[in-house]
Amino acid sequence: MFYDYNIDSTLVALAQQAEQDALPHFQHIDDVCLYASAKVLKAFQNNNLATTDFFEESGYGYSDAGREKLEKIYAEIFDAEDALVRAQIMSGAHALSLTFFGLLKHGDTLLSISGEPYDSLKSIIGITGNSRNSLIANGINYQQIELIDDDFDTTAIQAALQKQYIKVLTIQRSRGYSHRKSLCIDKIEKICKLIKQLSPKTIIVVDNCYGEFVETREPTHVGADLVVGSLMKNLGGGVAKTGGYIVGKAEFINDVAERFSAPGIGKDIGANLNQLFSFFKGLYSAPSVVASSLKTMIFASRLLELLGYNVAPKYNEKRTDIIQTIQLGTREKLIAFCQGIQKGAPIESFAVPEAGFTPGYPHEEIMASGSFISGSTIELSCDGPIIPPYTAFLQGGITYEYGKLGILIALNQIIKSNN
Ligand SMILES: *Cc1c(COP(=O)(O)O)cnc(C)c1O
């Protein structure tokens, strides 16, 4: 059944059951995918996209019609005023760094209301490391309010906003590498309403990494002023070779753009380096690629649950991002699973990932990513810190079929390594 892959026969039987159980939950994913596709298509048409918009601009990149249309299309999809979508934005962390440095000045306060931020943001803020260029080193105050039972601590947020003026408030939609649940759009909507009531001038920034096109609404639809993400994730559709985006209120996009290039220059500069074609095509593919990733995760969630592992979210739970966690329980199993994911990849399937230390990370880590775009996590990939409960963070899958094969090859590896 699985061609040449010698998948263990009990695993094949369980996979069939997992898929049976998963199938009813695919309908909702297909519905959201169709909705997002219609939105993307309409934005392409409303902006009269033409093949001439794919041309390379070198040098300064003044008045690049294609680049301007790309940013208008992003803004339209997010129902926002403006957007900055550039090849010169190198990652999600870079996009977030530009955003915070663009908005915050010496003496201003940044408040995170979703607890500890994503690992690479800690050094940008200055809560880890000793960079003399962090936000804190630049005289910006940082405060953090923990989540309670995976939801916002309304009382503490209310108190913080009443006590002092918070210039920027940030929310991380996805769980990142934490064990909390991701924050769905309904929850973000409720808290944005409260924030705007108490402190209308506070700028709400949402780290939208891994969340795009998972629900019909994005944070900009429910009160966020700026929304930030990486093109190596959902909106790159596995096609964009680099890049990041920021969408939202024009005034704040200008602040970020002036940090991105230079004051007074803002969005007007920046050669497209021939990346526009891949940005457009990636965005066009993104709804379907996100849907495939979600189906892969639901299948993996159910199959690993049937195999006795603790998984989050469960196959029948509501999702707001493409991350799946699996508690593998032992160091050996986590390593074997990641090695298996690598074995099932189209690129560098011959490589054997090993546990090791990465700069900026407190624990040994293992990462499997045999992707077309280096480090891309909209392609099937898996990583995890080598600490109890040995949790794998799994995400991506350009097509459901490759995703499913990748999961089965990975699990086969665990079964084989046990023998
Ligand atoms: C991936 C991610 C980032 C950082 O993006 P990079 O492209 O890896 O720099 C930030 N926040 C969250 C929640 C993420 O998942």
Question: pLDDT (tens digit, 9 = 90+) per residue, 83-127?
Answer: 999 999 999 999 999 999 999 999 999 999 999 999 889 999 999
| pLDDT exceeds 80 at position 2 | no
Of the given ranges (2-11, 38-47, 207-216), which has the lowest mean pLDDT? 2-11
- Does the C-beta of 383 come closer than 6 Å to ligand 1? no
Q: Residue 363's pLDDT is what?
A: 86
Average pLDDT value for residue range 280-295: 98
Residue nearest to ligand 1 atom 14, measured at CA: 209
Question: Are 113 and 84 within 8 A, CB to CB?
Answer: no
Q: Residue 104's pLDDT is what?
A: 98
Q: Pick from 114, 116, 118 the residue to mutate for probing ligand 1's pocket: most ligand atoms within 8 Å of its CB.
A: 118
Q: Residue 304's pLDDT is what?
A: 97
Q: Pick from 214, 230, 371, 378 the residue to mutate for probing ligand 1's pocket: most ligand atoms within 8 Å of its CB.
A: 230
- Does the C-beta of 209 come closer than 6 Å to ligand 1? yes
Q: Residue 360's pLDDT is what?
A: 63
| pLDDT exceeds 60 at position 345 | yes
Q: Residue 176's pLDDT is what?
A: 86
Q: How many angstroms separate the alpha carbon of residue 384 from the centre of ligand 1?
A: 14
Q: How many angstroms separate the alpha carbon of residue 174 from the centre of ligand 1?
A: 9
Q: What is the largest CA-CA distance in the chain?
A: 65
Q: How many angstroms separate the alpha carbon of residue 242 from the centre of ligand 1?
A: 13
- Does the C-beta of 207 come closer than 6 Å to ligand 1? yes
Looking up tokens 């920034």 gives 205
3-state DSSP percent of the chain in helix, strand and coil, to 5: 45, 15, 40
Average pLDDT value for residue range 383-392: 94
Looking up tokens 């105050």 gives 141
Residue nearest to ligand 1 atom 8, measured at CA: 92
Helix (H, G, I), strand (E, B) or coil at 110: strand
Average pLDDT value for residue range 326-339: 95
pLDDT band for 358, please (50, 70, 90 cuts): confident
Q: Residue 178's pLDDT is what?
A: 86
Residue nearest to ligand 1 atom 5, measured at CA: 92
Q: Residue 306's pLDDT is what?
A: 97
Which of ligand 1's atoms lies nearest the C-alpha of 175?
13
Percent of the chain, pLDDT > 70? 99
Q: Peptide bond before 263: cis, by omega within 30 degrees of 0? A: no
* Phi, psi dihedrals of residue 332, rounded to the nearest 5°: -60, -45
Q: Pick from 228, 233, 323, 395 the residue to mutate for probing ligand 1's pocket: most ligand atoms within 8 Å of its CB.
A: 233
Q: Residue 362's pLDDT is what?
A: 74
- Does the C-beta of 385 come closer than 6 Å to ligand 1? no
- Does the C-beta of 245 come closer than 6 Å to ligand 1? no
| Per-chain mean pLDDT for the chain | 96
| pLDDT exceeds 90 at position 417 | no
pLDDT band for 226, please (50, 70, 90 cuts): very high
Q: Residue 374's pLDDT is what?
A: 94
Q: How far is CA 238 from the centre of its chain?
A: 13
Average pLDDT value for residue range 201-217: 98
**Number of CB atoms found within 10 A of residue 136's CB:** 14
Q: How many angstroms separate the alpha carbon of residue 140 from the centre of ligand 1?
A: 22
Q: How many angstroms separate the alpha carbon of residue 70 from the centre of ligand 1?
A: 22
Q: How many angstroms separate the alpha carbon of residue 160 from the centre of ligand 1?
A: 26
DSSP 216-257: S--GGGGT-SEEEEETTSGGGTTT--S-EEEEE-HHHHHHHH
Average pLDDT value for residue range 183-195: 98
- Does the C-beta of 417 come closer than 6 Å to ligand 1? no
Query: What pairing do the DSSP bridges indicate for beta strands 168-172 and 203-207?
Result: parallel
Give the number of residues written for the chain: 419
> Which residues on adjacent β-strands are paired with residue 310?
327
- Does the C-beta of 309 come closer than 6 Å to ligand 1? no
Q: Residue 144's pLDDT is what?
A: 98
CA dist 385 and 376 (Å) reads: 18
- 270: its two tokens: 């920046």
pLDDT band for 321, please (50, 70, 90 cuts): very high
Q: Residue 152's pLDDT is what?
A: 98
- Does the C-beta of 71 come closer than 6 Å to ligand 1? no
- Does the C-beta of 320 come closer than 6 Å to ligand 1? no
Q: Residue 419's pLDDT is what?
A: 54
CA dist 301 and 323 (Å) reads: 10
Looking up tokens 């909507």 gives 189
Question: Are 337 and 353 within 8 A, CB to CB?
Answer: no
| pLDDT exceeds 90 at position 291 | yes
- 160: its two tokens: 């913080």
